[in-house]
Amino acid sequence: MELLERISEELQNGNYIDVPKLTREALAQGIAPAVILSDALVAGMDVVGEKFRRDELFMPEVLIAAKAMQSAMEVLRPKLIETGVRTAGMIVLGTVKGDLHDIGKNLVGMLCEGTGYQVIDLGVDVAPERFVEAVRTHKPDIVGLSALLTTTMPRMREVIESLVEAGLRGSVKVMVGGAPVTEKFAQDIGADGYSPDATSAVEKARILTTR
């Protein structure tokens, strides 16, 4: 539909003023919330992610597109709940204990939410026991651990070990990321997934939640 294409295009342009207005217009026209989500918003963010990988867009442009996505989701989320649309899954995010960096984590959260995931952000400096409690309480599909310092990377292993001790490791997938984190490190600590950037984190989350 022409309106859905326009929403997608304006989202890609980072037009966070008009995207929610156009979302309301689509709802007023009787377009199903799930269709608006998949064919306009998620489709638009997929284009943004692909352009970012090809270096056609840069981080500030991705951030403003994510802001447009969030503004649309504020309009759309209540309608999705009303119509009983199933989310893509639930993700608990946090920067590990001792680390106060959150830009990358926040971007992952915005992009994941923009592609249909329910995101619970625990913030920064999150102790292993808080991750355990969040998994026990919310029963997420994925726990995402972020670290920007080499000195805090070992905390990721501690979180995984704490999940094992609590008997919860088998119920949740663990993803890790951050500037110093590598695929090998992720494998060494027993994580289920690693992503070098926010856009690939969304793709990895999709893979992990469809297995």
As averages over each run of 10 residues, the pLDDT of the chain (211 residues) reads 94 96 97 91 87 87 88 89 80 97 87 83 97 97 96 97 97 96 97 90 89 65
Provide the CATH number for the domain around residue 41. Answer: 1.10.1240.10
Give CA–CA dist 52/108, Å, rounded: 14
Residue 70's pLDDT is what? 85
My answer on whether 10 and 70 are in the same domain is: yes
Give this prediction's pTM: 0.77
My answer on whether 102 and 159 are in the same domain is: yes
What are the Cα distances from residue 77, in Å, to 47, 85, 87, 118?
21, 10, 10, 10
My answer on whether 111 and 205 are in the same domain is: yes
Please state the separation of Cα 60 from the chain's center in Å. 17
My answer on whether 175 and 106 are in the same domain is: yes
How does DSSP classify residue 140? -
My answer on whether 71 and 139 are in the same domain is: no
My answer on whether 97 and 191 are in the same domain is: yes
Helices (H) and strands (E) in the chain, counts: 10, 5
My answer on whether 114 and 71 are in the same domain is: no
In the chain, how many domains are there?
Answer: 2
My answer on whether 115 and 189 are in the same domain is: yes
My answer on whether 154 and 137 are in the same domain is: yes
Residue 211's pLDDT is what? 65
My answer on whether 110 and 70 are in the same domain is: no
The domain of 100 spans: 89-210
Give CA–CA dist 178/12, Å, rounded: 25
**Cβ–Cβ under 8 Å, residues 123 and 153:** no
- Among the three residues 50, 82, 114, which one is the final residue of a domain in this structure? 82
My answer on whether 93 and 194 are in the same domain is: yes
- Among the three residues 27, 56, 82, which one is the final residue of a domain in this structure? 82
My answer on whether 73 and 116 are in the same domain is: no
